[in-house]
Amino acid sequence: MQWQNNGETYSEEWRNECEARELLSWPLAARRKQLALVHEKRGHEAYLKLTDEMTRQWKVARTKQSNLSSNNQEYLQKQKQIELI
- Residue 33: predicted pLDDT: 98
pLDDT tens by residue, the chain, 85 residues: 445 556 666 799 999 999 999 999 999 999 999 999 999 999 999 999 999 999 999 999 988 877 766 666 666 666 555 554 4
pLDDT digits (tens, 9 = 90+) for 21-43: 999 999 999 999 999 999 999 99
Q: What's the rounded Cα separation, in Å, for the pair 9 and 28?
A: 27
Length of the chain: 85
What residues contact 24, with CB distance under 8 A and at least 6 apart?
A: 31, 54, 57, 58
- Listed by start position, the domains of the chain span 12-84
- Residue 14: predicted pLDDT: 93
Cα 46 to chain center, whole Å?
Answer: 18
